[in-house]
Amino acid sequence: EVQLVESGGGLVQSGGSLRLSCAASGFTFSAYSINWVRQAPGKGLEWVSYITSRSSTIYYADSVEGRFTISRDNTKNSVYLQMNSLRAEDTAVYYCARVRGSSLSFYYMDVWGRGTTVTVSS
Amino acid sequence: QSVLTQPPSVSAAPGQEVTISCSGSSSNIGNNYVSWYQQLPGTAPKLLIYENNNRPSGIPDRLSGSKSGTSATLGITGLQTGDEADYYCGTWDSSLSAYVFGTGTKVTVL
């Protein structure tokens, strides 16, 4: 079964750090790009960051640029999101998702994890 | 603040049809492909439509997608109670170098 499982969420104080993990199974992980998407309580979806299969290309949303770092370890079938200088507005459910499309123009997400919750207290 | 605009809500009776619009610009919808996602309450989003009008396996042909210029539309026919959910459009924005989601639309079955 193709699956993504997030972990690492929790309660952290404003200014603190957390590292989220996304573990993949059921597909050739090293062949796919992965991204993170978050959803604040009662709000819509917000794209956070993207990493290509070999980590050659990375993008971030302006809201997290300079504070969050995405990385991956293809030997462990995992993607990570290091979140520093956390703010109350970073409180959300964080989803990782597999990205498809032959180029960015065709970008879509076909497999999603169940999410991990990050709460930043002020 | 999303760059893709959707109506906050749409509703119809069981068996009827609803359409959800997604309005953008030349830097996103106008020059890139649109996908649509369904989010049932308390669950992760699910891909419904990719590359404007393609359905993944397992998605019924009651759902359809289209694109014209800088707008896209999701159509759902034969509405069922199980279709009650939030729906989001999404696409790459070439100016922002970011993926952007629509504001989301809540579908209610009357």
- Is B24 an 8 Å CB contact of chain A? no
Selected for mutation to probe chain A from B34, B92, B97, B101 (highest A CB count within 10 Å) is: B92
| Tokens of residue A38, six digits | 């978050």
Mean pLDDT of chain B: 97
Q: How large is the average pLDDT for residues B4-15?
A: 98
Q: Is the pLDDT of residue B61 over 90?
A: yes
pLDDT of residue B102: 98
Which of B33, B46, B56 minimises the CB distance to A105? Answer: B33
Is residue B54 within 8 A of residue B67, CB to CB? The reply is no
pLDDT category at A93 given cuts 50, 70, 90 is: very high
pLDDT at B71: 98
Q: Is B50 on the interface with A (CB under 8 A)?
A: yes
Q: A15 pLDDT band (50/70/90 cuts)?
A: very high
Task: Point out which residues pair with A82 in neighbouring strands.
Answer: A19, A69
Q: Is residue B2 very low, low, confident or very high in pLDDT (cuts 50, 70, 90)?
A: confident
pLDDT of residue B1 exceeding 80, the answer is no
Which stretches of A14-113 are assigned E, i.e. beta strand?
A: 18-25, 33-39, 45-51, 58-60, 68-73, 78-83, 92-100, 108-112
pLDDT of residue B32: 98
Which of A50, A105, A108 is closest, CB to CB, to B47? A108
Q: Average pLDDT, whole number, for chain A?
A: 97
CB contact under 8 A, A104 and B101: no
* Residue B35 touches partner A, C-beta closer than 8 Å: yes
Percent of chain A at pLDDT > 90 equals 98
What are the distances in angstroms from CA A63 to CA A13, A48, A87, A108, B46?
A: 18, 8, 11, 21, 24
- Do the Cβ atoms of B101 and B92 come closer than 8 Å? no
Q: Do strands A10-13 and A116-121 pair parallel, antiparallel, or not at all (unpaired)? A: parallel
Cβ distance of B88 and A37 shorter than 8 Å? no
DSSP state of A106: G
